[in-house]
């Protein structure tokens, strides 16, 4: 797991502020490195220092957007996984776990929170969060959106531009809005 302890006691608000500031500083540095291969390892180090848990030999081209600030600790990335540019994580309360040997295209969004359908008088809509799990050997195409509570099974492929609202079976191809089974992958 991550080298720093990221939990803080609400009775000590200065600790929370310190963790949020550390995340903001290191995330900003990582996102503003030049886009050259030589900086890929430095970017991983900075993202780990920000609080993200990244296994060895992962590659992240960045920039990475994490909302809200203070929630980067909810992101876990496995060995030899690749995240292309402009990956977004909306992770206020739940984790996004990305397995090993996963390939993620540009502008993919992971959203662990959603809102209720009914408006409430003089209030914001209710919200609910569920974790997202991406198993090993998954390929997610450019611009896909992965919503709360979804598990993408081992070896699955998510077509570019898809909105995944339900679990994806292992070794299957899904696409569309909402994503539906396109075909099973023969092993």
CB atoms closer than 10 angstroms to residue 123: 7
- Do residues 157 and 102 lie in contact, with contact meaning Cβ atoms separated by under 8 Å? no
Distance separating alpha carbons of residues 115 and 129, to the nearest angstrom? 9
The alpha-helical segments, DSSP class H, found in the chain are: 13-31, 40-50
Q: Could you give the CA distance from residue 111 to residue 91 in angstroms, rounded to a whole number?
A: 7
Q: Which of 18, 35, 41, 115 is catalytic?
A: 115
74 an active-site residue? no
Residues with a known catalytic role: 115
């Amino acid at each position: 797991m991550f080298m720093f302890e990221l939990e803080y006691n609400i009775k000590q608000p200065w600790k929370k502020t310190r963790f949020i500031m550390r995340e903001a500083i290191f995330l900003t540095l990582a996102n503003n490195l030049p886009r050259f291969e030589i900086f890929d390892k430095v970017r991983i180090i900075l993202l780990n220092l920000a609080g993200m848990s990244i296994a060895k030999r992962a590659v992240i081209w960045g920039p990475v957007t994490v909302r809200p600030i203070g929630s980067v600790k909810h992101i876990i990335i496995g060995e030899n996984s690749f995240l292309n540019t402009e990956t977004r994580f909306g992770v206020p309360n739940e984790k996004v776990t990305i397995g090993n040997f996963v390939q993620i295209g540009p502008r993919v969004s992971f959203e662990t929170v959603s809102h209720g359908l009914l408006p409430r008088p003089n209030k914001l809509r209710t919200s609910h969060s569920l974790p997202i799990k991406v198993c090993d050997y998954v390929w997610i195409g450019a611009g896909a959106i992965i919503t709360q509570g979804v598990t993408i099974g081992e070896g699955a492929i998510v077509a570019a531009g898809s909105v995944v609202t339900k679990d994806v079976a292992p070794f299957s191809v899904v696409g569309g809005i909402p994503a539906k089974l396109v075909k099973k992958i023969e092993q």
